[in-house]
Amino acid sequence: MHVTLLGTAAGGGFPQWNCWCPTCRVAREDPERAGPRSQSSIAFSADGVRWFLGNASPDVREQIAQLPHAEVTGVRHVPVEGIVLTDAELDHTLGVTLLREGRRLQIVATPAVIHTIAEDSRVLPVTEAFATVKVVEVDLGNAVSLDYRDGSASGLTIEMKAVRGDPPRFARREEVGHTVAAFIRDTRTGKECAFVPGCGGLGPKLLARLDQAELLLFDGTFWTDDELARLDISDRLALSMGHVPISGAEGSLAALSQLKCRHKVYTHINNTNPMLIEGSEERAAVEAAGMIVGMDGMRFEI
């Protein structure tokens, strides 16, 4: 299985267009120390030319242009076979509408996420005004085959587990499965990628499941719980926003560093997170724990 990090920043990208926090200042003034990042998304493929997306960010047009593809013989080519959604947040779903020229799209998500993009954000009906959209609802805990747009099997399966998190602000109700960890398995090798861009807590059952993955892509949004408050940006804490902070005894770094996964990578990194800066104490702590700060364009083969 081929996995590419298309974007590794949280909503707004990095540097964020309206932000002049210390980290964004470094990104503007010394970009070699803090490289720019687009909004969080991945692409994965069984053959390296036909791709599924893990979330569809507002930067999707530029992101998918970087993907390898087969030789194009006609006047239209759609490299995206389907879009797996881990939640219904705008920075993970607005890209769906931008792919409407694909004419035939496939969305794979839990019923809770489908309900939200259908009834609250209306991303689904807006897209359906331009394209035929096949919706594949995935019940929690059930692995289902990921099929190509022509109906043939890709050799990959997807399983979703609910994780702690906040539903989108615009969601009119809270349903189980509004935020999930997605486990992508290659049925030929048995190897698995765990994609968890949003997660508000790490319990023993989830950690045990993550430990089975060859590649773990995990929520790196905030370094500390009070990161935004310290910068006088917001009084909301990371945990209240559905993101377990990285640092501290109860943080994700302490827990994930104990896992046996071959590759452990932070993605969905907020623009305020100091680990974005090369040579920072925070970056050094992550690397010393055997983890990677994700960067756009990183590729893995498992």
The model's pLDDT over 65-101, given as tens digits with 9 standing for 90+, comes to: 999 887 877 778 788 999 999 999 999 999 999 999 9
Residue-range domain boundaries for the chain: 2-301
**Which residues neighbour 143 within 8 Å (Cβ) at sequence distance 6 or greater?**
157, 158, 159, 183, 185
**Which pLDDT score is estimated for 69?**
80
Q: Choose among 83, 82, 74, 192: nearest CA to 148.
A: 82
How large is the average pLDDT for residues 217-242?
Answer: 97
CA distances, 229 to each of 182, 220, 235 (Å): 30, 18, 5
The correct CATH number of 2-301 out of 3.60.15.10, 3.40.710.10, 3.20.20.140, 3.40.50.12780 is 3.60.15.10
Using one digit for the tens of pLDDT, what is the confidence trace for 1-33? 999 999 999 999 999 999 999 999 999 999 999
3-state secondary structure of 258: coil
| pLDDT of res. 79 | 87
Are 14 and 40 spatial neighbours (Cβ–Cβ below 8 Å)? Answer: no
Tokens coding 174? 């809270």
Q: How many residues would you count in the chain?
A: 302
Q: Which two tokens stand for residue 1?
A: 């299985």
How much is the pTM?
A: 0.97
Q: Is 213 within 8 Å of 232 (Cβ atoms)? A: no
Q: By percentage, how much of the chain surpasses pLDDT 90?
A: 94
Residue 256 — pLDDT band, cuts 50, 70, 90? very high
β-strands 263-267, 215-219 pairing: parallel
